[in-house]
Structure 1
Amino acid sequence: MNAFSELWRAVVGWLDLLTAQPDAIAKFNLTRAGLLNAMGFYVVSVLLAIAVLGLAAGTVPAWMQVAISLLFNLILVLAIVIAAWGTARLMRADALAVAVPSVYALGIVQVLSLPLVYVHSDAAALALLGVRGFMFYRAAREVGKLSLGVSFAFAILCIVLLAAIPFGLYMLTTGGQGIV
């Protein structure tokens, strides 16, 4: 299976997951190759977001800005994969069954949020976190076959990671300057 058909199946799988269709799990490639394809899709979606932000600002981002943004986003996706792996291992579930749909969820929301580039709203950012949280919950509950409480805990952990890592990196890179 090539990466494009796998991406299409994952998008259809997410639509099926969000609408509670019975065969949604079969659409995801729950292997290491599937995780690499999901991460590749996420990297492409980040590069697309960088390009759209550059077009919105009327500038072309420098290569160093692109590299830093990619590194930052890879840290975020790595944190989600580690959280999925840790949660699945603690609950004796399949780690790839939680990680693959979670990474696709990050990429899908990244692509769907591109029209919001011009909005710059805190409400939009919070709404996108809520959408990601719901998608993380569905990935853990339906694909990972985790219990209700563990699925909620996984979703909350992922949202906390997505919200806290940027602040932590900011504090590390600025030495705490400008924090009130």
Structure 2
Amino acid sequence: MRIKEIIVVEGKDDTTAIKRALDADTIETNGSAVSSETIEKIRLAQEKRGVIIFTDPDFPGEKIRKKVSEEVPGCKHAFITKKDARPVSGKGIGVEHASPESIREALREAHTMENEIEEVITQEDLLTAGLIAGPRAKARRERLGEILKIGYTNGKQLHKRLRMFQIDKESFAKALAQVVQEE
């Protein structure tokens, strides 16, 4: 499998994992303090071939994702679950620990975020679904993010990400039904 877009990752170990999974080029941010030179490389890559941001499912990874998407609009986003990003033994979480199949699937499911779109799913819908408050809200959001391939978010970010990925009510309802059925 060959990916046309250039994949933005956090470091060398992520690049190694990507190359084990498929034929692709990467740009490494080398941590969450993304330099202006790296942003310029990503901007050029987006103009020439397109970019997929594929960072770890943790706070620093989300910080990088946010910074790059703000500076370079129109990038696609690939997400991996925390479960798939854990090593077989030892500690840590990251793309570098994911299996080649998990990486390929995440890249196949990459989405483009749109900033200016109509609200389809409201905060009230999220509250009613038990995704914002309640004892199971965090676990529900995590599973919903896996099913919809939009990554894990806190309650506030979930509303924003559902809008950005243009998740419609039918897809949301179907994913939520699966979450509830699995509980």
TM range (shorter): under 0.3
From the two aligned structures, give the one with the greater helix fraction.
1
> What is the TM-score with the length of structure 1 in the denominator?
0.25
From the two aligned structures, give the one with the greater strand fraction.
2
